[in-house]
Amino acid sequence: MIKFTIITLFQEAIEPYLKTSMMWKAVDKGLAEFDFVNLRDFGLGPHKSVDDTPYGGGDGMLLRCEPVFAAIESIKEKDPTALVILPTPVGETWTQDLARKFASGLGAFRSAAARELAPSARGDGPDGRGPESDANFLHYIILCPHYEGYDERILSLVDYKISLGKYVLTGGELPALIIIDSVVRLIPGVLGGETSAEIESFSDGDNLEYPQYTKPADFRGMKVPDILLSGNHGEIAKWRKEHSGKAK
Ligand code: ADE
């Protein structure tokens, strides 16, 4: 079971996707759980403010420390093992390999990002406690920043900084969904049918899936390769291996 607690100002932008298709099925099967924390609930003053202008000047607003610390502390009070993910363009680039590590829990703590972890999260703190002590339950908190960025001191709470790629988005909601989707589909039992080993083979390094076809065998003159109609499983496997895509 993997639980994601998403701290956001825009739950409505995320929730419909998580209530759809495989994400919903994962929850229904008891393999995943999604929870939301509204950052606004921890905002300051009558307007529940969560952001302010940067010291030193500059454009835009930054997420303030107080609401973010209070929100994360409220979650960690209930589950101190929860790990904090911050989507940010300056994080480690998200890959299938990282998704696999986050899905299995154990390996996640040996990633490059893990070396920068706070000792308690790494599991080598004084009490040796870490999420790998209970591989059956993993809890990730995803903090979705908005506005122009966040106060740097927020990083003291963060276990993993994750970038989706070399472009800048307006907030952490889309990265949160991508991280969640790519991790949850790797939980054994979520996709049904496939064994996790088979899933691994598709996601090995940069090997992508081979071309696939369904009926009809001839669509407007575009024909399915004969080999796939041959029933020769050995040859089909060979063809698929030869035609597996490579990431650019
Ligand atoms: N927030 C804004 N841009 C981002 C990116 N490319 N990856 C992760 N989080 C982001």
Residue at token pair 């298709």? 21
Which residues in 101-117 are b (16+ Cβ under 10 Å) and which e?
Answer: bbbbbeebbebebbeeb
- Structural domain includes residue 143: yes
| Number of domains observed in the structure of the chain | 2
Task: Give pLDDT, residue 227.
Answer: 98
Are residue 18 and residue 107 in the same domain, yes or no?
A: yes
Two structure tokens written together for 68 = 């973010």
Q: Which two tokens stand for residue 120?
A: 């308690």
Instruction: Say if CB 27 and CB 184 are below 8 A apart.
Output: no
Please check whether residues 62 and 100 belong to one and the same domain.
Answer: yes
CA of 175 to the centre of ligand 1 (A): 6
Sites in the chain below the pLDDT cut of 70:
106-135, 193-207, 248
Residue at 236 is within a domain: yes
The CATH number of residue 229's host domain is 1.10.1270.20
pTM of structure:
0.85
Distance from residue 143's CA to the centre of ligand 1 (Å): 12
31 and 94, same domain (yes or no): yes
DSSP state at residue 95:
-
Same domain for 154 and 238, yes or no, is no
137 and 16 together in one domain: yes
Tokens of 76: 């960690």
Q: Where are the beta strands (DSSP E) in 195-245?
A: 218-219, 222-223
Q: Are residues 149 and 233 located together in one domain of the fold?
A: no
Q: Are residues 13 and 108 in the same domain?
A: yes
Cα 206 versus chain centre, distance: 18
Indicate whether residue 169 lines ligand 1 (CB < 6 A). Answer: yes
| pLDDT at residue 131, as a whole number | 43
**Residue 168 Cβ contacting ligand 1 at under 6 Å:** yes
Which helix (H) or strand (E) element contains residue 63? strand 62-63
Q: Indicate if 214 and 177 belong to the same structural domain.
A: no
Q: Based on the domain organization, do 165 and 229 belong to the same domain?
A: no
Give residue 182's identity as a one-letter amino acid code: S
Q: Does residue 63 fall inside a structural domain?
A: yes
Tell me the residue range of the domain where 240 lies: 206-246
Q: Is there a single domain that holds both residue 146 and residue 212?
A: no
Best residue among 98, 163, 178 to mutate for probing ligand 1, ranked by most atoms within 8 Å of CB: 163
Residue 52 shares a structural domain with residue 159: yes
In short, whether 89's Cβ falls inside 6 Å of ligand 1 is: yes
- Domain shared by 156 and 50, yes or no: yes
- Region class of 246: left (phi > 0), else alpha (psi between -120 and 50), else beta: beta
DSSP label at residue 29: T
pLDDT at 125: 38
Give the CATH number, domain containing residue 38: 3.40.1280.10
**pLDDT tens column, 213-236:** 999 999 999 999 999 999 999 999
Rounded distance from Cα 224 to ligand 1 centre (Å): 39
Q: What is residue 129's predicted lDDT score, i.e. its pLDDT?
A: 42
In this prediction, residue 135 carries a pLDDT of 59
Is 18 among the domain residues?
A: yes
